[in-house]
């Protein structure tokens, strides 16, 4: 525990001091999700199209990255890869540590993203693909025009989980000496001995980013899924209209009755 009594004003001060390091955290998240999307697609395709050997390899790849702790993956790539490359006479001793970190997080999120893609594509009903084929589209057209837009919309909530998970996982990059927000927080903590204050501001920072990302993903999902959601809105509208019309017709009947009387 720190030697100083708790003082909330430090929470705000440290929060501000953490902000510059946020750039590195977001840089790791952004680039590893971007590469992860490419990797994920490449790993998902052989499974979707049942390519014999590649399908197997894809499963092994996914099992490895989902089944081992990311901390160990970080160490394996950071210490192991240079040794491996030395065997084929490639020297990576001058490569920045950040490269290995982004590589690991890309491959890691790629494994999860491939599962997201696979699930979303399988969720688009087969009948629509058949309709596309029946009208003369080829496989590529059917995928790009019919399957992908719907799969994208379906996948947003799960994809959001992957991104948020990735954000939190970047807090382990400090173990390799990367000064992203967690790394920065540890340095500040060690120097100031105000551990509660610094970790409170760190938690607050993670929470705010997550919150903003969640909102963004939610809006994106609503936008992409408007072809399904509008149905509910429409139904509600129709129900409202129905009740108004119902009343209007009974009123009309009443008037008719009066007229006959």
Partner 1 sequence: MIQLKQIKKSFGRHQVLKGIDLQVEKGQVVAILGPSGSGKTTLLRCINFLERPSDGEIEIGGITVQCKRPSKSDIHTLRKQSAMVFQQYNLFRHKTALENVMEGLVVVQKIPKEEARERSIALLKKVGLENKLDAYPSQLSGGQQQRVGIARALALNPKVILLDEPTSSLDPELVGEVLSVIRKIAKEGITMIIVTHEMAFAQDVASHIIFMDDGVVVEQGSPVELFNSPKEERTRQFLKRYTPDGVYSI
Which chain residues interact with partner 1 by CB under 8 A? 125, 127-128, 130-138, 141, 145-146, 149-150, 153, 227-228, 230-231, 234
Measured from the CB of residue 56, what is the shortest distance to partner 1 in angstroms? 24
Task: State in angstroms the smallest separation of the CB of 130 from partner 1.
Answer: 5
Structure tokens at 154: 């379906």
In the complex with partner 1, the residue whose CB is nearer, 9 or 138, is 138
d(CA 45, CA 47): 5
Report the candidate in 107, 131, 124 with the shortest Cα–Cα distance to residue 39. Answer: 107
In this structure, are residues 17 and 188 in contact, taking their beta carbons and an 8 Å threshold?
yes
Region of 125 (left: φ > 0; alpha: ψ -120 to 50; beta: rest) is beta
- Chain Cα centroid distance, residue 64: 20
**Cβ of residue 8: shortest distance to partner 1, in angstroms?**
50
DSSP letter for each residue of 17-54:
HHHHHHHHHHHHHHHHHHHHHHHHHHHHHHHHTT-HHH
Least Å from the CB of residue 113 to partner 1: 21
CB of 195 to partner 1, least distance (A): 51
CA 182 to CA 198: how far, in whole Å?
10
Nearest to partner 1 of 128, 249 (CB atom):
128
Residue closer to partner 1 by CB (options 7, 130) is 130
The residue (of 27 and 133) whose beta carbon lies closer to partner 1 is: 133
Q: Is 62 or 132 the residue whose CB approaches partner 1 more closely?
A: 132
d(CA 102, CA 97): 9
Neighbouring C-beta atoms of residue 203, cutoff 10 Å: 12
Q: Which is nearer to partner 1, 45 or 153 (CB)?
A: 153
Least separation in angstroms between residue 240's CB and partner 1 is 15
Closest CB 136 distance from partner 1, rounded Å: 4
Q: What's the helix, strand, coil split of the chain in %, to 5?
A: 85, 0, 15
Of residues 150, 120, 146, the one with CA closest to residue 48: 120
d(CA 54, CA 41): 13
Nearer to partner 1, 125 or 241 (CB): 125
């Amino acid at each position: 525990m720190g030697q100083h009594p708790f003082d909330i004003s430090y929470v705000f001060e440290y929060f501000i001091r953490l902000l510059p390091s946020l750039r590195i955290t977001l840089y790791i998240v952004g680039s590893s999700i971007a590469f992860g999307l490419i990797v994920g697609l490449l790993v998902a395709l052989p499974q979707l199209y049942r390519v014999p050997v590649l399908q197997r390899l894809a499963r092994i790849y996914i099992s490895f990255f989902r089944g081992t702790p990311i901390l160990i993956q970080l160490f394996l790539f950071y210490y192991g890869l240079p040794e491996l490359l030395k065997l084929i006479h490639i020297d990576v001793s001058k490569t920045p540590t950040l490269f290995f970190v982004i590589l690991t997080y890309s491959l890691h999120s790629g494994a999860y993203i491939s599962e997201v893609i696979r699930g979303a594509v399988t969720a688009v009903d087969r009948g629509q693909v058949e309709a596309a084929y029946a009208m003369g589209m080829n496989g590529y057209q059917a995928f790009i025009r019919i399957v992908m837009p719907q799969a994208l919309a379906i996948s947003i909530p799960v994809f959001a989980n992957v991104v948020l998970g990735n954000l939190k996982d970047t807090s382990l990059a400090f173990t390799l000496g990367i000064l992203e927000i967690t790394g920065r927080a540890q340095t500040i903590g060690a120097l100031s001995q105000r551990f509660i204050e610094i970790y409170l501001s760190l938690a607050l920072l993670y929470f705010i980013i997550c919150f903003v990302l969640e909102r963004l993903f939610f809006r994106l999902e609503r936008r992409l899924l408007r072809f399904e959601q509008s149905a509910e809105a429409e139904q509600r509208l129709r129900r409202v209209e129905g009740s108004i019309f119902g009343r209007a017709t009974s009123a009309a009947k009443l008037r008719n009755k009066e007229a006959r009387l």
